[in-house]
Amino acid sequence: MGLMTGKRGIIFGVANEMSIAWGIAQQLKEQGATLAFTYLNDSMEKRVRPLAESLDAELILPCDVSNDDEIEAVFKAVEAQWGKLDFVVHAVAFADRADLKRPFSETSRAGFALAMDISAYSLVAVTCYAKPLLNEGGSIITLSYLGADRAVPNYNVMGVAKAALESSVRYLAAELGEQGIRVNAISAGPIRTLAASGIANFRKKIKLMDDYAPLRRTVTQEEVGKTAVYFLSDLSSGVTGEVHLVDAGFNIVVSA
């Protein structure tokens, strides 16, 4: 018996085998979970479908989280297939590269709104459609980063979006607690992924981890995945509204 045996859930945010969502999916499967996946668009489907099939996914659905109709369609399909579900993984973020390269004060109005919509509001929208289908004891997680509460160089508008995301976690946790549903965030250290490639000087962030993090390295997708199993399983049944750092201890030794 795995920690996730008998639990069914959906994962938003696999782009390829480097994705943090993929690390999470593998750990959930290893613990016995039954999985559904979404992919952003047709070009992503080519990569995501074979990965999802390799973990015996029961649903593989398109979903651009900026579109409410697509989110609604996903949960209608989940209801038709499973009736209810036990967990949701939200591992989605986006900001215009141009806005990440400019000084923060020059962030465009449209770019600010876009980053907030895809990277923060989408958790609220996904939770709204998931809420009626989640079993008591259900759990939702999202992915954040230290740039939510520190001014991390080059993270800029994405840091502001992560701050909104973390605050949304607390408000959603406060609301859904009565239904016995928990909402938490994992704040991961820097990991080389497609999304990370949009952050200027990302390599420097990894180097800082190697030099200063107590564990003298950054973290892996697998380590984030193992923490996700904790938050999505009954191991964390008393924990909600938390932003949990998985950052090799970097936060405790580096102040900026």
Interaction site with ligand NAD (CB under 6 A): 13-15, 19-21, 40, 44, 63-66, 91-94, 118, 143-145, 188, 190-191, 193-196
Cα 188 from Cα 247, distance rounded (Å)? 5
Q: How far is the CB of 172 from ligand NAD (least distance, A)?
A: 16
Catalytic residue from among 39, 121, 145, 230: 145
The DSSP-derived string for 81-102 is HHSSEEEEEE------HHHHHS
Q: In the complex with ligand NAD, which residue's Cβ is closer, 19 or 240?
A: 19
Q: How far is the CB of 167 from ligand NAD (least distance, A)?
A: 15
Q: In the complex with ligand NAD, which residue's Cβ is closer, 75 or 94?
A: 94
- In the chain, which residue ranges form alpha helices assigned H by DSSP? 20-30, 42-54, 68-82, 97-101, 109-116, 122-130, 156-176, 202-212, 221-232, 250-253
Q: In the complex with ligand NAD, which residue's Cβ is closer, 53 or 234?
A: 53
Q: In the complex with ligand NAD, which residue's Cβ is closer, 40 or 85?
A: 40
Question: Among this protein's residues, is 121 annotated catalytic?
Answer: no
Q: From residue 110, how far is each of 32, 68, 116, 214 by CA, in Å? A: 42, 19, 10, 39
Which amino acid is located at 200 in the chain? A
Question: Among this protein's residues, is 212 annotated catalytic?
Answer: no
Q: How far is the CB of 92 from ligand NAD (least distance, A)?
A: 4
Q: How far is the CB of 147 from ligand NAD (least distance, A)?
A: 8
Render the burial of 136-152: b for 16+ CB within 10 Å, e for the rest: eebbbbbbbbbbbeeeb
Catalytic residue from among 155, 171, 212, 230: 155
Secondary-structure breakdown of the chain: helix, strand, coil percentages, each rounded to the nearest 5: 50, 15, 30
Q: Which residues are catalytic?
A: 145, 155
